[in-house]
Every structure is written in structure tokens, then in C-alpha cells.
Amino acid sequence: MTESYSVAILGATGAVGAELLQLLEERNFPISNLKLLASPRSAGQVLEFKGECFTLEAVSEKSFQGMDIVLASAGGSTSKAWAEAIVQSGAVMIDNSSAFRMDPSVPLVVPEVNPDAVEDHRGIIANPNCTTILMSLAVWPLHQACPIQRLLAATYQSASGAGARAMEELKQQTQAILNQQDPPAEIFPYPLAFNLFPHNSPLNAQGYCEEEMKMIHETRKIFGAPDLRVSATCVRVPVLRAHSEAINLEFAEPLSADRARQILAEAPGVKLLEDWDKNYFPMPMDASGKDEVLVGRIRQDLSHPCGLELWICGDQIRKGAALNAIQIAELLVNRNLVQSAMAVSS
């Protein structure tokens, strides 16, 4: 990456926005101009990047002029509101919300899984849901070795998935309960501290919540497998940061646990963590702040000759959101695709 680029972060004050800023510095992304955008109430705040202070600007129609890449992490309604202005300005929008994920004209990308999808962008590239990203890193290499016919997932999702305010609320709830006080519940519908509940996103007529349907539809799109049988149960748990998932895979033919370990040991973005003697497998505290998705407790499914069980943990804010977006930006730069949005918008 010899050239440098003008980059904007839309939603710079949130948990993912802060991680985006940190990762741009850690990975030495080639930036010639950085613009931090937020709502009017956050405008004027100052954030630091590479020892330099940057003042947050209130987003407007003119915010994206001269930008090459816009990393959007301010929610679906905000992404929809500014998408046209971003694309018309000639920038590429890498969107962390669910607004465009299932749009057939918008690539949905996990760089370790379907990097070539970025070639087809028309100014917008969608970042998948956190649970889908984490799961796909562990499942895709196995699917390549032996086609998967059915995938079942149960997620154990941390407070970080609901943002910085939700993480703070979990801390406050914990302290309140320890002090024998009523725990505040404003971000979550119910107290999360010392508790858990099925994911609180809206339910459909079949009884699946929105979060579960994201995993189903997004996995099919990323894998290029519209008929893949997928089901999920998503649960919010009292963990501050990093999601966990129990995954059951049914293959077209038997795939041994040892062979699965060999495949995953060489898979990008994955790290094996298993100590069977100590019954030690991936935990959120191991995954927090890490780039890799941790995989362990790989075992045969006793109920099916072609079944395999996995347990994974991954940092929702990092690989589940910000890191994946930065890796998409790096793909665009390395493949010289940043300026292609200019042609689309002209």
C-alpha cells in the first residue's frame, strides 16, 4: 500500500468507531486525511490519532467530499440516510449496519472467506453481523474441505454487541445487584447482570428473532449457498466483551475431529485453543482484544456419523465489526478498487 487515502469514520464516538480509529493506527493504514463524523450532539469532541488531535464534525451533505473511504458505524438509519451522498461523492462506503447486507447489489464480505466479492461493489460494501463473521471464519475452511449440509448455532452474545452504553449498563447493573439495589435497565429490556435472556431483537411469525435470521440469510449469501440449511438460537449473556458460539455441523460425509483440527490450524484468522486434560477451551476473556477467532472443543457429534461440534469465541467489537471493516478497506486498497466508485457515481 504505497498510496495514501482520505478516510472518514461515521459514528466515531461509538464502541466500534473507537475501535476503528485504534485499528487504523495499529495496522498503519495509509491515511492522508482523516475525518471523524458524528451526530451534532457529539460535534466538537476531540479524539486522538497518532498523537494528533482531531475534532469531531457533525455529519452533513458536504462531509464526504474528497473522501476515498467512509467507514460507517452509526446504525442502519444513519447509513441509509447518508449512503447516496457518500456514493455520489465518489467514496466507497464500508457499512457496519444491517441496512444493505441483503441487497443483491451490495457485496457482503468476510475477507478470509469471500474476498473476491469486493470486485463487484458499486460504492457500498456491507460488513456482516458479528455472529456471522465469527462463525464463518471457523466454518468456511471446513465447508471447503467437506461440504456442509446443515449448520446449527447457539450464540452467547456479550453486552458489547449492543454498544458502549450497553457495556456501561452491565457494569452498573452488576454493582447495583451487589449493593442489593434494583439494577437499571434502559439499553436492555431486562437486567443482564447475573442473568441471561434470548436475544431481544424483534420476532418474526416463525418465532425467530431478527438476530437469528441475520445469521441464516447472511451465511447463505457469504458462502454462496442459498439452499444451505441453517438455524440459530441467539442469547444475550452477562459478558462485557467477546461473543461465544456452540456450532453443530452436518457434513455430506464424515469429517474426523482430527482432520478438522488440521484444517483449522492452517485457516486464516483462526487460532486453536484446546487443553483436554485441563478442560480448558476458548473463553471470552481469552478472545477479548484479540484479532483471531478462537476455536476449541472440536468433537464428533455422537448423534450423527457426519456430525461435528465446535466451540468458538471472538471479539465482537474487533473481528466481529471494526477489524473486518478495516480488512475490507485493505482489500480495496491492495486491489486498487477504491476509485471505482467514482465511475459508478459519474
Catalytic positions are 130, 243
Q: What is the residue type of 143?
A: H
Residue 113 C-alpha cell reads as 472467506
In 3D space, the residue among 296, 197, 209, 302 whose CA is nearest the CA of residue 246 turns out to be 296
Is residue 236 part of an annotated ligand binding site?
A: yes
**144 carries a ligand binding annotation:** no
State yes or no: 39 annotated in a binding site. no
DSSP string, 146-174: S-EEEEEEEEEE-GGGG-HHHHHHHHHHH
- Is 295 marked within a binding site? no
41 is in an annotated binding site: yes
The answer to whether 59 is annotated as binding is no
Q: How many CA atoms lie within 13 A of 88 on its CB side?
A: 8
- Helix axis angle, 15-26 relative to 164-178, nearest 10°? 120
Ligand-binding annotation for 335, yes or no, is no
Is 11 labeled as ligand-binding? no
Q: Is position 14 annotated in a ligand binding site?
A: yes
Cβ atoms of residues 326 and 31 within 8 Å: no
Give me 275's grid cell: 487443553
Q: Cα 51 vs. chain centroid, distance in angstroms?
A: 27
Residue 101 annotated as binding?
A: yes
- The letter for the amino acid at 303 is S
User: Cell 478498487 identifies what position?
Assistant: 337
Extract the annotated binding site for phosphate.
Answer: 101
Annotated binding-site ranges for substrate: 157, 210, 236
Tell me the binding residues: 13-16, 41-42, 101, 157, 160-161, 210, 236, 316
